[in-house]
Amino acid sequence: MSRFMVTETGIAGLRVVQRRRLGDERGFLSRLFCAGELAPAGWDKPVAQINHTWTQRRGTVRGLHFQRPPHAEMKLVTCLRGAVWDVGLDLRSGSPTFLQWRAVELSADNGCALLIPEGCAHGFQALTDDCELLYLHSAPYAAQAEGGLSALDPALGIGWPLPIALRSERDLRHPEVMPDFTGLDVNS
């Protein structure tokens, strides 16, 4: 029996992964990752990097971040403490859902993760104070391939659920989508 229930979001490869918890009066055990069990959901590479973030303030928005090919990466994002509204944005050239986004609440209580495929940007808003996220990446960070888009770009129409309390200086400098942007070619 798989420890994961996978739900499609309508964007190819962007999936919600619900963990099945085994518990009793002592607490629970939750499998965070299993390559064999997540392969059918699209995770087909080794884990190359694991990152842990802490976001202090409710309403803070981080993102939208991505890595350009040939350093494109998959991410599996899990909330260990608090709750976030997690967003995946399709930036893949030729995709039928190009520039569309989906969001899901990830929380320490619901045991959900978001699997974000190569060619998609990621961002989130903290729904509570003191949020901690764990990220599994299929490729190591490459500074020269770093990209970002404005989380407030009206062309994207992301309806953040809370008033935005804080964004980093770096994220404030991310551009809006240019009309001539044709997407990321993750198949090259």
So where are the chain's domains? 4-21+30-151+159-172
- The C-alpha atoms of residue 57 and residue 67 are separated, in whole angstroms, by 26
Kindly report the CATH number that applies to the domain delimited by 4-21+30-151+159-172.
Answer: 2.60.120.10
What does the pLDDT read at residue 85? 98
Name the average pLDDT for the chain.
Answer: 94
> Which residues of the chain fall below pLDDT 50?
none
121 contacts 65 by C-beta, under 8 angstroms = yes
Whole-number pLDDT of residue 20: 87
pLDDT of residue 1: 62
Which pLDDT does position 180 carry in this prediction?
86
Please say if 65 is a catalytic residue. yes
Which pTM does this prediction carry? 0.94
- Could you say which of 71, 122, 135, 174 is catalytic? 135
